[in-house]
């Protein structure tokens, strides 16, 4: 459990935040630029001291009353927006900097990090000769090797171009799958958050607007996320079968089974599906003559009208309406013509192309525990 | 033998003394100036500005003013003399103290600039990697500020070799103790021994040229290596 | 429209008018370069000179060597009151001064001095066992320094005292060493401590050292200046000599 509350002056407004999030998985601090996300992250690291703050991470009291543990005594790893590698050290010496100073027996070794982040080829290069994405991977490895109990990431992708981002995102997902270290991840990019976060802390002008599981917050009609230009639902699932002949997988999600293109791994592999509302259409019946593979029963929970005569319909998968949350975007005309209403059972049709899998990058996920045994 | 000897014994003595003074002064300057530069680069508030101003004073003050106050500070009634239990004037140690004060801004400013150019980030990174502030100072801040330390050391050395006014005021021109190169050259010029003056002054000119050129070349290489 | 050539000629003429001094004889003004040690006495003499003759004198004070260099570089001084004899002699020899006008206007008096009233009773002060430093002016460049060495040799103590000697660049620096207490005693000029009765002193007998003559010359720039010549005459008169004596200098014969 990570419990934090901080108060302080922040530019033109007061910072007053408090949240309690699970002590595992990725928690995204999400909000517009300047809302205080980075300040909160720096306060958690101890790089900034906000008087009257409270911070307890998985049982360790880092700040309370007059108690303030300085940053170098906190078991954190911090990945800054710019990689901030030490220019006077080689890639390897950068990686070993935190490893040498770790205060506990290494749980993550050099070999694990090298394999997880694919940085073996970078070892002999000077830090300044790396690309932006490579540098950030080394910085993440360096933070991991300091054996953190909590990994803090401050918009680690925002300084990178699109190409470098795509290069590094799979590695972050791989970390998420392979390691049990909780992560606080600051971002203002909803796409990153949708791909990575388990828990979301939504911030606005120095306050916490909402905190909870990401799937719930994305579909919450009271929150601004649903009004984003391209609202989407994220659903975590598990592979139950694969069909190599067609290159498809069956993924079990709460309230149904979704057919996903691609090889997501053997049965049992966890994966996340991102389903944009614009790729979901609604009907009363299961269509018989269509190219769409996925037509799932769902129940309408509610609908919001957007400015441009569109409706964002909130759904729950399953015949009983107890499954995963899903969003569908339909025109007001269709809504009225079909006479849809809240509580009604419908069939949600998912375009195959819409199924954005976000599994691990190609290649097997190394198990750090296994590496050490070897 | 004497026939072609460029330097006589007195000249060698004054050269060796000057090199010794500059070396000792440079070492002391680095030991004193580096923490001071660090403090100036990192702290805020009025005190920082006051101290920075005091450090910069030797740049604008004529050496005679500085030398005069040093002479008073080393006099029999000063707190410094009471503290040390003896006068520092007309001693090698006194010259070192005077040279350190005189050359302080030339050493502190490049080091301070290097620390400031580094920004707060490297120290923050080091802290998040479990390095204590002292550890981070030695393993991160100092190596990153190396070009500044280098420049500071060279400037401090060269400035000490070339100093005249302060040395004259507190040294008393004792051969082998306080009679350094610049004082000897002044003597030769004043007594119209221009041949000897030329040898020493020309040597000093050449050395200064070589030192500053070497510094610029080394600095460029150091910066290139970093890039 | 003025043709450019004429315009240039007019400009040059205007510039020349600015540069060429007005006739000094009529203006009754002169400019003297004076050795720094004679500053106070010179000012008082200047006032008396103006009262007595109606001419006025302006001074430029500085170290003798520096003044001499300035003269060789064409400085507009009409008179040169040096701190030694060598530089005026050389000015004469090298044609910067009007021949035959040189004379000794002041003779420096050497004093062994300490701010401590109990320290200097006489020559024995040099033998005090607790003496750590004796300040003198640079004997190779300053007449007072050379004189101090002569005195110590005459007393037969030079070799014994040599390790205690600290040299000032000039006699004023030697005075500073003593005044600030960094040297317990020092050979200084009487003119430096005249009027300050604190401390103790031994006026060194004149026969123990070569007289420290300070000579004055009329410089080439003042060859036709009535005011400059009048000043030289006034400097040798009884009124000026009384002032000079009051400031701690001998006036020669």
Least CA distance to A87: which residue of chain B? B226
Q: Is the pLDDT of residue C15 over 70?
A: no
Phi, psi angles (nearest 5°) of residue C186: -165, 155
B126 in reach of chain A (CB within 8 A): yes
Using the beta-carbon criterion (under 8 Å), do C168 and B174 form an inter-chain contact?
no
CATH 3.40.50.300 fits A2-218, yes or no: yes
A21, A198 Cβ separation under 8 angstroms: no
How far off is chain B from C186, nearest CA to CA, in Å? 12
How far off is chain B from A368, nearest CA to CA, in Å? 21
A104 in reach of chain B (CB within 8 A): no
**Mean pLDDT over residues B11-28, rounded?**
93
Looking at the structure, tell me whether residues C101 and C72 fall in a common domain: yes
Least CA distance to B68: which residue of chain C? C176
Instruction: Please report whether residue C137 resides in a domain.
Output: yes
Q: What is the pLDDT of residue A213?
A: 92
- Residue A21 tokens read as 């999030």
Looking at the structure, tell me whether residues C185 and C236 fall in a common domain: no
Q: Which of A36, A37, A43 is nearest to A150 (CA)?
A: A43
Using the beta-carbon criterion (under 8 Å), do A88 and B135 form an inter-chain contact?
no
Interface residue of C168, C174, C181 to substitute, partner B, most B CBs within 10 Å: C181
B abuts C (3+ Cβ pairs < 8 Å): yes
* Burial class of residue C120, CB neighbours in 10 A (0-12, 13-18, 19+): buried
Looking at the structure, tell me whether residues C172 and C220 fall in a common domain: no
Q: Which of C81, C115, C97, C118 is nearest to C215 (CA)?
A: C81
- Residue C155 tokens read as 């007393």
Cα(C83)–Cα(B40) distance, integer angstroms: 48
- Burial per residue of B77-112, b for 16 or more beta-carbon CB atoms within 10 angstroms, e otherwise: ebeebeeeeebbbbbbebbbbbbbbbbbbbbbbbbb
Q: DSSP code of B57?
A: H
Looking at the structure, tell me whether residues C121 and C88 fall in a common domain: no
A153 forms beta bridges with A79, A185
- Residue C196 tokens read as 């300050």
Q: What is the pLDDT of residue C8?
A: 52
Cα(C132)–Cα(C177) distance, integer angstroms: 12
Cα(C218)–Cα(C100) distance, integer angstroms: 9
Using the beta-carbon criterion (under 8 Å), do B127 and A84 form an inter-chain contact?
no
pLDDT tens digits, chain A, 374 residues: what are they? 899 999 888 777 788 999 999 888 899 999 988 888 999 999 999 999 888 889 999 889 999 988 999 999 999 999 999 889 999 898 999 999 999 998 888 888 899 888 888 888 888 887 888 888 889 999 999 999 999 999 999 999 888 888 778 778 888 888 887 888 899 999 988 888 888 899 999 998 889 999 999 988 988 888 888 878 788 888 888 889 888 888 888 889 998 888 888 777 888 888 888 888 888 988 888 777 777 788 889 999 888 887 778 888 999 998 887 889 999 988 888 888 888 888 889 999 887 544 444 443 333 333 333 333 33
Using the beta-carbon criterion (under 8 Å), do B128 and A45 form an inter-chain contact?
yes
Using an 8 Å CB-CB cutoff, list chain A residues near B140: 86, 88
Q: What is the pLDDT of residue A106?
A: 82
pTM of the model: 0.79
Using an 8 Å CB-CB cutoff, list chain B residues near C135: 172
* Tally of domains in chain C: 2
Using an 8 Å CB-CB cutoff, list chain B residues near C140: 187, 190-191
Least CA distance to A143: which residue of chain B? B129
**How large is the C-alpha radius of gyration of chain A?**
22
Instruction: Determine the straight-line distance between the first and last CA of chain A, rounded to whole angstroms.
Output: 32
DSSP string over B124-187: HHHHHTT--HHHHIIIIIHHHTHHHHHHHHHHHHHHHHH--HHHHHHH---TTTT--HHHHHHH
pLDDT digits (tens, 9 = 90+) for B20-68: 999 999 999 999 999 999 999 998 888 999 999 999 999 998 888 888 8
Cα(A209)–Cα(A31) distance, integer angstroms: 9
Type and span of the H or E element at B95? helix B92-118
Instruction: Please report whether residue C220 resides in a domain.
Output: yes
Looking at the structure, tell me whether residues C10 and C48 fall in a common domain: yes
pLDDT digits (tens, 9 = 90+) for B175-208: 888 889 888 888 888 777 888 888 999 988 888 8
Q: What domains are there in chain B, each with its CATH number?
A: 15-226 (1.10.3720.10)
- Burial per residue of C42-61, b for 16 or more beta-carbon CB atoms within 10 angstroms, e otherwise: beebbebbeeebebebebeb
Using an 8 Å CB-CB cutoff, list chain B residues near C176: 68, 71, 169
Q: What is the pLDDT of residue B227?
A: 53
Looking at the structure, tell me whether residues C89 and C119 fall in a common domain: no
Using the beta-carbon criterion (under 8 Å), do A128 and B226 form an inter-chain contact?
yes
Using an 8 Å CB-CB cutoff, list chain C residues near B71: 176-177, 180, 182
CATH number at residue C216: 3.40.190.10
Cα(A214)–Cα(A90) distance, integer angstroms: 39
- The domain segmentation of chain A, as residue ranges, is 2-218, 232-371
> Measured between CB atoms, which of B121, B136, B146 is closest to A84?
B121
* Burial class of residue B224, CB neighbours in 10 A (0-12, 13-18, 19+): exposed
B199, B187 Cβ separation under 8 angstroms: no
Neighbours of A346 (CB within 10 A): 19
User: How many pairs of residues across A and B have Cβ atoms under 8 Å apart?
Assistant: 64
Looking at the structure, tell me whether residues C177 and C141 fall in a common domain: yes
Confidence of residue C10 (pLDDT cuts 50, 70, 90): low
C65 in reach of chain B (CB within 8 A): yes
Could you tell me whether strands A199-204 and A26-30 are parallel, antiparallel, or unpaired per DSSP bridges? Answer: parallel
A97 contacts: CB under 8 Å, gap ≥ 6 = A86, A89, A142, A146, B126, B129, B131, B139
How far off is chain B from C187, nearest CA to CA, in Å? 14
The better pLDDT of the pair C208, A338 is held by C208
Q: Which of B152, B170, B178 is nearest to B18 (CA)?
A: B178
Cα(A215)–Cα(A25) distance, integer angstroms: 14
pLDDT digits (tens, 9 = 90+) for C217-233: 999 999 999 999 999 99
- Residue A324 tokens read as 């995963």
Q: Helices then strands (H, E): number in chain C? A: 11, 11
Least CA distance to B87: which residue of chain C? C182
C58, C31 Cβ separation under 8 angstroms: yes
B122 in reach of chain A (CB within 8 A): yes
B69 in reach of chain C (CB within 8 A): no
Query: Left if phi > 0, otherwise alpha if psi is -120 to 50, otherwise beta: which for C153?
Result: alpha
Using the beta-carbon criterion (under 8 Å), do C140 and B186 form an inter-chain contact?
no
The chains in contact with chain C, meaning 3 or more Cβ pairs closer than 8 Å, are B
Using the beta-carbon criterion (under 8 Å), do C182 and B87 form an inter-chain contact?
yes
Looking at the structure, tell me whether residues C121 and C174 fall in a common domain: yes
B130 in reach of chain A (CB within 8 A): yes
Instruction: Please report whether residue C253 resides in a domain.
Output: no
User: How many pairs of residues across B and C have Cβ atoms under 8 Å apart?
Assistant: 54
> Measured between CB atoms, which of A47, A87, A146 is closest to B130?
A146
Using the beta-carbon criterion (under 8 Å), do A97 and B129 form an inter-chain contact?
yes
Looking at the structure, tell me whether residues C134 and C196 fall in a common domain: yes
pLDDT digits (tens, 9 = 90+) for B212-221: 888 788 878 8
Using the beta-carbon criterion (under 8 Å), do B128 and A88 form an inter-chain contact?
no
Phi, psi angles (nearest 5°) of residue A236: -90, 135
A277 contacts: CB under 8 Å, gap ≥ 6 = A230, A231, A232, A233, A312, A313, A327, A328, A329
Cα(B90)–Cα(A339) distance, integer angstroms: 105
Least CA distance to C164: which residue of chain B? B174
Question: Could you give the C-alpha distances from A101 to A72, A280, B124, B161, C249, in angstroms and in order?
Answer: 10, 51, 15, 43, 78
ipTM of the complex: 0.82
Looking at the structure, tell me whether residues C118 and C78 fall in a common domain: no
Looking at the structure, tell me whether residues C187 and C215 fall in a common domain: no
Angle at A259 between CA A255 and CA A262, to 5 degrees: 140
The chains in contact with chain B, meaning 3 or more Cβ pairs closer than 8 Å, are A, C
A143 in reach of chain B (CB within 8 A): yes
Using an 8 Å CB-CB cutoff, list chain C residues near B87: 132, 182
C114, C200 Cβ separation under 8 angstroms: yes
Instruction: Please report whether residue C252 resides in a domain.
Output: no
Cα(A367)–Cα(B227) distance, integer angstroms: 37
CATH code at A232-371: 2.40.50.100
B76 in reach of chain C (CB within 8 A): yes
Side by side, the strands of the sheet bearing A345-350 are A280-283, A345-350, A294-305, A310-317, A325-331
Looking at the structure, tell me whether residues C169 and C237 fall in a common domain: no
Confidence of residue B114 (pLDDT cuts 50, 70, 90): very high
Phi, psi angles (nearest 5°) of residue B99: -65, -35
Domain limits at C14?
4-107+211-246
pLDDT digits (tens, 9 = 90+) for C134-160: 999 999 888 899 999 999 999 999 999
Q: What is the pLDDT of residue B182?
A: 87
Neighbours of B212 (CB within 10 A): 13
């Amino acid at each position: 459990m990570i419990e934090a509350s901080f108060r302080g002056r922040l530019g033109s407004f007061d910072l007053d935040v408090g949240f309690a999030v699970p002590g595992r998985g990725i928690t995204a601090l999400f909000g517009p630029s300047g809302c205080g996300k980075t300040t909160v992250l720096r306060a958690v690291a101890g790089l900034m001291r906000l008087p009257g703050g409270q911070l307890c991470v998985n049982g360790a009291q880092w700040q309370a009353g007059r108690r303030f543990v300085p940053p170098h005594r906190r078991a954190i790893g911090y990945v800054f927006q710019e990689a901030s590698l030490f220019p006077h050290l080689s890639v390897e010496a950068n990686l070993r900097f935190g490893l040498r100073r770790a205060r506990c027996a290494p749980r993550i070794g050099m070999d694990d990090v090298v394999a997880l982040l694919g940085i073996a080829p970078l070892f002999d290069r000077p830090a300044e000769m790396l690309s932006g994405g490579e540098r950030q991977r080394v910085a993440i490895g360096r933070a991991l090797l300091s054996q953190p109990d909590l990994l803090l990431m401050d918009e680690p992708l925002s300084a990178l171009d699109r190409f470098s981002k795509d290069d590094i995102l799979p590695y972050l997902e791989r970390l998420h799958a392979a390691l049990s270290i909780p992560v606080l991840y600051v971002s203002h990019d909803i796409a990153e958050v949708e791909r990575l976060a388990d828990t979301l802390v939504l911030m606005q002008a120095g306050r916490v607007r909402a905190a909870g599981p990401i799937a719930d917050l994305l579909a919450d009609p009271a929150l601004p996320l649903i009004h984003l230009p391209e609202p989407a639902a994220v659903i975590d699932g598990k592979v139950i079968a694969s069909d190599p002949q067609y290159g498809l997988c069956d993924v079990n999600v709460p309230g149904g089974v979704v057919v996903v293109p691609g090889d997501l791994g053997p049965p049992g592999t966890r994966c996340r599906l991102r389903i944009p509302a614009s790729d979901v259409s609604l009907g009363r019946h299961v269509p018989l003559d269509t190219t769409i593979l996925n037509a799932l029963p769902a129940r309408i929970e509610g609908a919001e009208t957007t400015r441009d005569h569109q409706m964002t319909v909130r759904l729950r998968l399953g015949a009983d309406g107890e499954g995963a949350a899903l969003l569908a975007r339909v025109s007001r005309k269709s809504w009225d013509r079909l006479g849809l209403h809240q509580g009604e059972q419908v069939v949600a049709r998912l375009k195959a192309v819409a199924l954005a899998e976000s599994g691990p990058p190609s290649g097997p996920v190394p198990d750090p525990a296994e590496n050490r045994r070897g | 033998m004497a026939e072609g000897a460029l330097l006589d014994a007195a000249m060698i003595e004054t050269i060796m003394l000057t090199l010794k003074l500059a070396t000792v002064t440079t070492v002391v300057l680095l030991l004193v100036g580096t923490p001071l530069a660090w403090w100036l680069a990192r702290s805020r508030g009025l005190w920082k500005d006051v101290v920075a101003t005091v450090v910069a004073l030797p740049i604008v003050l004529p050496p005679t003013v500085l030398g005069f106050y040093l002479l008073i500070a080393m006099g029999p009634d000063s707190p410094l003399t009471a503290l040390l239990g003896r006068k520092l004037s007309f001693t090698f140690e006194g010259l070192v103290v005077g040279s350190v004060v005189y050359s302080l801004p030339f050493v502190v400013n490049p080091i301070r600039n290097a620390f400031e150019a580094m920004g707060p980030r490297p120290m923050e990174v080091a802290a998040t990697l479990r390095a204590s502030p002292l550890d981070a100072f030695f393993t991160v801040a100092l190596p990153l500020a190396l070009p500044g330390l280098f420049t500071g050391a060279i400037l401090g050395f060269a400035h000490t070799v070339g100093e005249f006014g302060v040395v004259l005021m507190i040294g008393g021109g004792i051969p082998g103790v306080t009679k350094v190169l610049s004082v000897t050259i002044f003597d030769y010029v004043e007594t119209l021994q221009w041949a000897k003056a030329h040898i020493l002054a020309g040597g000093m000119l050449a050395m200064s040229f070589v030192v500053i050129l070497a510094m610029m070349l080394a600095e460029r290489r150091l910066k290139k290596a970093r890039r | 429209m003025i043709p450019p050539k004429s315009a240039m000629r007019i400009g040059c003429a205007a510039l020349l008018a600015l540069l060429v001094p007005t006739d000094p004889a009529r203006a009754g003004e002169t400019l003297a370069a004076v050795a720094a040690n004679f500053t106070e006495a010179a000012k008082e003499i200047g006032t008396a000179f103006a009262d007595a003759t109606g001419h006025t004198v302006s001074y430029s004070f500085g170290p003798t060597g520096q003044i001499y260099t300035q003269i060789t570089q064409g400085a507009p001084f009409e008179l040169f009151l040096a701190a030694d004899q060598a530089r005026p002699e050389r000015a004469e020899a090298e044609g910067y001064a009007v021949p035959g006008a040189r004379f000794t206007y002041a003779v420096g008096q050497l004093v062994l001095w300490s701010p401590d009233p109990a320290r200097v009773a006489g020559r024995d002060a040099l033998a005090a066992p607790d003496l750590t430093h004796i300040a003198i002016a640079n004997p190779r460049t300053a007449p007072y320094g050379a004189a101090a060495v002569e005195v110590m040799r005459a007393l037969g103590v030079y070799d014994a005292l040599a390790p205690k000697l600290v040299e000032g660049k000039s006699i004023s620096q030697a005075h500073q060493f003593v005044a600030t207490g960094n040297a317990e005693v020092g050979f200084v000029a009487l003119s430096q401590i005249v009027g300050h009765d604190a401390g103790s002193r031994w006026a060194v007998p004149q026969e123990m050292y070569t007289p420290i003559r300070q000579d004055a010359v009329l410089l080439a720039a003042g060859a036709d200046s009535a005011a400059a010549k009048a000043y030289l005459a006034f400097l040798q008169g009884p009124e000026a000599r009384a002032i000079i004596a009051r400031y701690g200098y001998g006036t020669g014969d």
